[in-house]
């Protein structure tokens, strides 16, 4: 695993919405370059960019039309190369978003694959052998070309599924992973990776990584596929970092990924913490972190030393964190996010508590996700400094509230969320125990109880973390030798006769003897 992941803190950039420099109302690569110093100053040292390749943008770029060319609206391949090198000069790394499961219907592979005559791309996608048969349980594209067959879709109906084969075949048109078509698809995807790694990118976030091989309930085929990719990377790009959108770290890390996300879907109980009716991090104190902790420990034990489990503050598919948490609740949530093992991922704007923009019409296949994708709020100038285009030209409408948070205001004001996040990052980066590979042991995580407490450790260093989002004082029992409080928010921690008590809405990191 690349050494830089030991203390990596990622910042996810939705390129459309970060910074526009050519007044067309949409973000671009030069805008990201312009803001690299901001991200570095916050303390993040790595970036994940959502897909930025040529696309009809039916799914915000997750429908790629050409894997080898940057989308002109963001700039050129040269601009992207410049972004890689400017990031490297600042000691930062950049992950691109690889979408291997499907393309856009406009991709030249698909245009060829639709043809009735057999050609190089006939088996690049999953086709049934008759227009009258659709793949079971999956949608399909049918009746749009001379080819007799239905093409399986992978997500939206304009995203035909690339063919990596079936783990278990139950229909004659299904191919196995070892067949020529599926093997060629995988080689084509490796070439895409080769191309961008060769231009200086540092790795990939992989879209829907766990679902490439079909009829593969336990993921065995898909794990094997990724092990093949790992072999290739180990040989040619051993430093490349890989993070999967999979949500089952025992599988993804076995497949050779370095990191996997815990997400709002799947069995992680991530939503219990941040995005449910009574999130654990709400001050109401009615939440429950215990199912999350149980699942986390299960995953952690299976994957310890094999790779990282990453907990994001949010992403472009989820409601903004600030939709369910407010004010100091957000600070306490960040005290948790920035003291857990694995590399933290901060979704752009979450560091200032950007709100979920309500009642927007869907943009580029965003639907309910659109409100989490609104343009970054930099300052008090028009369009919050995102773009000098007319307001109606902005990619997505912004938060209209007079008190919408901005970077400029929060940088200037003591007690802001931005300042707290920056402070938390500084503290994390000063203690190996708090970073990616430090161990974790939960010492208090009871059902429907507050606080949540765990120790992080590395070598001789041991740090106790106590997080109490609820408004009421909370306590638990334990024997510790307190050496120094290295982070404290929301009052004082009291340790007396084997009992640790913390005020409501507080978080602490304590160095232990």
Per CB under 6 A, residues contacting ligand NOJ are 59, 62, 99, 155, 207-208, 245, 316-317
**Could you tell me which residues come within 8 angstroms of residue 496 by beta carbon, excluding any fewer than 6 positions away?**
none
Nearer to ligand NOJ (CB atom), residue 153 or residue 421: 153
Nearer to ligand NOJ (CB atom), residue 345 or residue 487: 345
Nearer to ligand NOJ (CB atom), residue 155 or residue 274: 155
Nearer to ligand NOJ (CB atom), residue 101 or residue 255: 101
Nearest partner of 263 among 333, 313, 209, judged by Cα: 313
Contacts of 449-452 with C-beta under 8 Å, sequence gap 24+, read 449/290, 449/474, 450/285, 450/474, 451/475, 451/476, 451/502, 452/280, 452/289, 452/293, 452/336
CB of 417 to ligand NOJ, least distance (A): 25
CB of 61 to ligand NOJ, least distance (A): 9
Sheet strands (E) in 186-330:
203-206, 241-244, 259-261, 308-310
CB of 223 to ligand NOJ, least distance (A): 19
Tally Cβ neighbours within 10 Å of residue 191.
11
Contacts of 437-445 with C-beta under 8 Å, sequence gap 24+, read 437/6, 437/308, 437/341, 438/341, 439/304, 439/341, 440/300, 440/340, 440/341, 442/293, 442/297, 443/476, 443/478, 444/476, 444/478, 445/289, 445/290, 445/293
Nearer to ligand NOJ (CB atom), residue 261 or residue 336: 261
Nearer to ligand NOJ (CB atom), residue 245 or residue 329: 245
Nearer to ligand NOJ (CB atom), residue 208 or residue 445: 208
Q: How far is CA 253 from each of CA 247, 259, 308, 493, rounded to the nearest angstrom? A: 10, 7, 8, 38
Using CB positions, name the residue nearest to ligand NOJ. Answer: 62
Nearer to ligand NOJ (CB atom), residue 241 or residue 466: 241
CB of 168 to ligand NOJ, least distance (A): 24
CB of 190 to ligand NOJ, least distance (A): 19
Tally Cβ neighbours within 10 Å of residue 85.
13
Nearer to ligand NOJ (CB atom), residue 95 or residue 433: 95
CB of 153 to ligand NOJ, least distance (A): 11
Nearer to ligand NOJ (CB atom), residue 57 or residue 155: 155
CB of 207 to ligand NOJ, least distance (A): 5
Burial 12-40 (b: 16+ CB within 10 A, else e): bbbbbbbbbbeeebbbbbbbbbebbebbe
CB of 197 to ligand NOJ, least distance (A): 21
The C-alpha atoms of residue 354 and residue 178 are separated, in whole angstroms, by 47
Q: Which phi and psi (to 5°) does residue 247 adopt?
A: 80, 10
Burial 423-459 (b: 16+ CB within 10 A, else e): bbbebbeebbbbbbbbebebbbbeeeebbbbbbbbbe
CB of 455 to ligand NOJ, least distance (A): 33
CB of 155 to ligand NOJ, least distance (A): 4
């Amino acid at each position: 695993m690349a050494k830089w992941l030991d203390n990596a803190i990622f910042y996810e950039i939705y390129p459309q919405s970060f910074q526009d420099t050519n007044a067309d109302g949409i973000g671009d690569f030069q805008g990201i370059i312009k803001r690299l110093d901001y991200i570095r100053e916050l303390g993040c040292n790595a970036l994940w960019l959502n897909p930025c390749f040529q696309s009809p943008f039916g799914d915000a770029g997750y429908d790629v039309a050409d894997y080898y060319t940057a989308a002109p609206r963001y700039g050129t391949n040269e601009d992207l190369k410049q972004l890689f090198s400017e990031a490297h000069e600042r000691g930062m790394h950049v992950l691109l978003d690889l979408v291997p499961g499907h393309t856009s219907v406009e991709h030249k592979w698909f245009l060829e694959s639709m043809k009735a005559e057999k050609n190089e791309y006939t088996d690049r996608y999953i086709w049934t052998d008759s227009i009258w048969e659709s793949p079971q349980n999956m949608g399909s594209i049918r009746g749009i070309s001379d080819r007799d067959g239905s093409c399986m879709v992978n997500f939206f109906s304009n995203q035909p599924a690339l063919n990596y084969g079936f783990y278990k075949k139950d229909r004659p048109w299904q191919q196995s992973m070892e067949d020529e078509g599926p093997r060629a698809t995988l080689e084509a995807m490796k070439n895409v990776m080769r191309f961008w790694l060769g231009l200086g990118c540092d790795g990939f976030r992989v879209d829907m990584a766990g679902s490439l091989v079909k009829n593969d309930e336990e993921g065995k085929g898909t794990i094997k596929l990724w092990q093949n990719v790992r072999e290739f990377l180990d040989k040619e790009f051993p430093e490349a970092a890989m993070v999967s959108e999979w949500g089952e770290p025992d599988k993804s890390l076995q497949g050779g990924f370095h990191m996997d996300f815990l997400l709002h879907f799947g069995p992680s109980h991530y939503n219990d913490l941040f995005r449910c009716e009574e999130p654990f991090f709400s001050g109401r104190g009615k939440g429950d972190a215990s199912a999350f902790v149980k699942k986390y420990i299960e995953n952690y034990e299976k994957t310890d030393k094999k790779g990282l489990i990453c907990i994001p503050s949010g992403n472009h598919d989820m409601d903004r964190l600030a939709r369910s948490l407010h004010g100091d609740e957000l600070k306490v949530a960040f005290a948790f996010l920035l003291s857990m093992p694995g590399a933290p991922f901060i979704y752009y704007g979450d560091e200032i508590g950007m709100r979920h923009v309500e009642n927007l019409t869907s943009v580029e296949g965003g639907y309910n996700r659109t409100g989490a994708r609104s343009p970054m709020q930099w300052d008090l100038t028009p369009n919050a400094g995102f773009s000098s285009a007319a307001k109606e030209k902005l990619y997505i409408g912004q938060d209209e509230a007079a008190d919408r948070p901005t970077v400029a205001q929060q940088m200037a004001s003591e007690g802001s969320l931005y300042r707290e996040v920056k402070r938390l990052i500084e503290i994390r980066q000063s203690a190996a125990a708090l970073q990616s590979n430090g161990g974790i042991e939960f010492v208090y995580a009871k059902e429907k109880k507050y606080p949540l407490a765990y120790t992080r450790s590395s070598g001789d260093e041991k740090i106790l973390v106590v997080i109490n989002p609820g408004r009421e004082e909370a306590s638990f029992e334990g024997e510790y030798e307190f050496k120094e409080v290295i982070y404290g928010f929301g009052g004082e921690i009291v340790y007396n006769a084997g009992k640790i008590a913390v005020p409501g809405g507080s978080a602490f990191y304590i160095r232990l003897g």
